[in-house]
Chains A and B, each alone.
Chain A
């Protein structure tokens, strides 16, 4: 198996799906001639041409809405928001249209659109370009929200997203593009809405996803040196949210820490903790801990920004607090 970056895995998934289905096309800002601002679609414009790799104006409302319309009328658009921060401008197209047209017209239309959006903090981009707003989108039924942490998951999930008849928001944490992992040559799919155990252990359950998962895994390596074996569950999809593996693990370890890059208030951790106590109250031996971003707009200055973000030390501290 080849060890490739998550960026390459996403590129490969897009390319394979475009070769498989001529109704799959890409639209977004600088996806074509430029090759994608994160270089995910480099070479696509030459390979597939301007008809299938469409550069748009910098106009997120119509990127979002036109992708919805094209999807309703039989195409499979992969619409890229240059960053998820700009998807705020398309919130109406995503929430009021992509996520609603199937239901509100009684099932007459379907909307097989994929919105791709890099996001996340930690790159000194300042307050408006550093959001991890995944939970905002995951709030709404009708939309599927996926955010992978590994190259293997990214490729298999993106292919499933493109083939899905439902609208999918595919969030790529930008600091993960360089993460390498094993990806098989042969084709495979990973179903949306299935969590995955990334590390087994019996002392504590860590529930995480995306960049939070990588932070959690770093923490577990250090914890292991002290003889603490954590089990790590990767949610992979936020909606539908598969709580099965997390609950099973919690029933074994009786303790849980939830790690997410977004804000703590009203966050993924709040949701997962609530569900754990609803489903496994009798197994709870300690308060469920949340490791999340400080409740501040992210600043530019490097040290200051890092101090607001999650890191392995915070995860380790949270684990030790409840052991």
Chain B
């Protein structure tokens, strides 16, 4: 891998982490409302896989969507404005944390019904197949979503119709507070994909380079006509399911063990040891990210709230 590429991924991962830490702070201050699901710990998945997409590929994900929004290149100021419910937000303040989207980046959004976006991904892929393009859909979901009917119906349809979907399961070990082996009859998620004609591959989701390479390979397989593909990214969420999670279902030791294999830490070591990056270089990136976040918060804070009329717009395209 090129050093410049790795540095860019480092910047993106730091950006996601710092952005979310800032969001947690703003949530505690009451400036962000509703639910807030943090992606911290899983940054390598969004950054590595989205880096492997070609320009016309689509991205769709669940409600833990800040990382994907930033990784597709959505304007951070507008993402932060959405968090604060401002009209300048990516979804005009109508979506919030769970419903970020950016039509120009082919990012179809975060969806808050577990599994609900999997058939949408199949449909988006169907439209590309129908139009005869080479575009694929990268569809992200958690381990918890693999137990719901939507998952099975969507994978089956994708298998039958050979839809260009890359199913990316972010196995962060818990569906809310329920561990994978307490909710799934098979502990290896990829075993479920085999039932629908997909071989599937487990990937170290803490290593952005591995994620990138596996995604690249899977997308190539889709484009060469091999049908839908399945990746299980083994990862971990450091924070609770959402803000206010009492974290009774896991030990501090377990969290510490995963933190030792931190995705940003792994990449940092690789940059320093294998690519002659300097601590100064990385710190400069960290500082630039801090600056960017400060500007995004300022933009969001100074942005106007949606006008009362906005309540009634966008219900229908045709009034």
Contact = CB atoms under 8 A, between A and B. Distances in A.
Whether chains A and B associate is: yes
Given A59-B157, A61-B119, A62-B154, A165 B95 contact: no
A258 B318 CA distance: 29
A69 B119 contact: yes
Interface string A95-110: 0110001111111111
A68 B153 contact: no
A144 B316 contact: yes
A69 B95 contact: no
A59 B92 CA distance: 34
Given A25-B130, A93-B116, A108-B91, A66 B123 contact: yes
B178 to A, nearest CB: 21
A72 B150 contact: no
Given A57-B160, A61-B149, A106 B120 contact: no
Given A69-B122, A104-B95, A59 B153 contact: yes
Contacts of A110: 317
Given A61-B149, A104-B91, A67 B156 contact: no
Contact of B89 (A106, A109, A112, A141): A106
B185 interface: no
A120 B122 CA distance: 31
A57 B127 contact: no
A105 B124 contact: no
B155 to A, nearest CB: 9
Interface in A220-238: none
B120 A105 contact: no
Contacts of B318: 164-166
A56 interface: yes
A141 B123 contact: no
Contact of A66 (B99, B109, B122): B122
A228 to B, nearest CB: 39
Interface string A39-68: 000000000000100101101011011111
A69 B116 contact: no
Given A73-B128, A102-B316, A65 B91 contact: no
A59 B117 CA distance: 15
B313 interface: yes
A92 interface: yes
Interface in B157-175: 157, 160-161
A44 to B, nearest CB: 16
Interface in B96-147: 99, 101-103, 108-109, 111, 113, 116-128, 130-131
Given A62-B154, A65-B154, A105 B123 contact: no
B93 interface: yes
B202 to A, nearest CB: 25
Nearest to B122: A66
Contact of B127 (A51, A73, A141): A73
Interface residues of B, number: 45
B90 interface: yes
A96 B116 contact: yes
B314 interface: yes
Contacts of B116: 65, 92-93, 96-97
Contacts of B156: 57, 59, 62
A278 to B, nearest CB: 20
Most buried by A among B93, B101, B128, B314: B314
Nearest to A102: B314
B271 to A, nearest CB: 36
A189 interface: no
B102 to A, nearest CB: 8
Nearest to B163: A66
A72 B153 contact: no
A104 to B, nearest CB: 5
B94 interface: yes
Given A164-B318, A166-B316, A62 B95 contact: no
A70 interface: yes
A74 interface: yes
A68 B127 contact: no
Nearest to B310: A106
A299 interface: no
A142 interface: yes
B29 interface: no
B127 to A, nearest CB: 4
A75 interface: yes
Nearest to A58: B153
A57 B120 contact: no
Given A105-B91, A105-B103, A106-B91, 18 more contacts: A56-B157, A59-B156, A62-B156, A65-B123, A65-B154, A66-B119, A68-B120, A69-B124, A74-B127, A77-B123, A93-B119, A96-B116, A97-B120, A102-B315, A105-B101, A141-B315, A142-B315, A166-B317
7 contacts: A62-B150, A72-B124, A77-B123, A102-B315, A104-B94, A105-B94, A107-B92
Closest 10 CB pairs of A and B: A69-B123, A65-B119, A106-B92, A73-B127, A69-B120, A62-B153, A66-B123, A165-B317, A106-B91, A70-B123
